[in-house]
């Protein structure tokens, strides 16, 4: 008797509850995915900006060395990133710049050594 009177109401309520729960879960997962993708995009943009800045500082400030070039790179990268709405600590930026310079130096020395070996092979 109870089920006959209230069964449809209970089923409708359970379906509504399930729909609400699934919608909430989907919304939560969507927000998490969006945040993750935005974080990846910020990291990608930051690395590209740092690479560009390191190359530019190398070309523009040939008379500067070491710490002076690093300061110019930090200043330039901070300004460019801020214009894109990306805020980064000086320590993070310093680390990224040092990593980029190291990678460029490794690539340069690898190319230099390969060229030297090829030159030696031609001379033989």
pTM (predicted TM-score)? 0.68
pLDDT in tens, 20-39: 999 999 999 999 999 999 99
pLDDT tens digits for range 33-84: 999 999 999 999 999 999 999 999 989 998 988 899 999 999 999 999 999 9
CA distance 58 to 101: 10
DSSP per residue, the chain: -HHHHHHHHHHHHHHHHHHHHHHHHHHHHHHHHHHHHHHHHHHHHHHHHHHHHHHHHHHH-TT--HHHHHHHHHHHHHHHHHHTT----HHHHHHHHHHHHHHHHHHHHHHHHHHHHHHHHHH-
């Amino acid at each position: 008797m109870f089920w006959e009177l209230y069964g449809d109401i209970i089923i409708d309520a359970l379906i509504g509850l399930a729909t609400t729960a699934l919608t909430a879960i989907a919304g939560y997962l969507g927000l998490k995915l969006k945040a993750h993708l935005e974080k990846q995009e910020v990291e990608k943009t930051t690395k590209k900006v740092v690479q560009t800045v390191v190359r530019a500082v190398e070309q523009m400030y040939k008379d500067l060395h070491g710490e002076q070039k690093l300061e110019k790179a930090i200043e330039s990268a901070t300004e460019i990133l801020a214009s894109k709405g990306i805020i980064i600590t000086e320590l993070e930026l310093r680390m990224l710049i040092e990593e980029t310079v190291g990678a460029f130096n490794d690539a340069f020395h690898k190319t230099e050594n390969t060229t030297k070996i090829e030159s030696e092979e031609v001379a033989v």
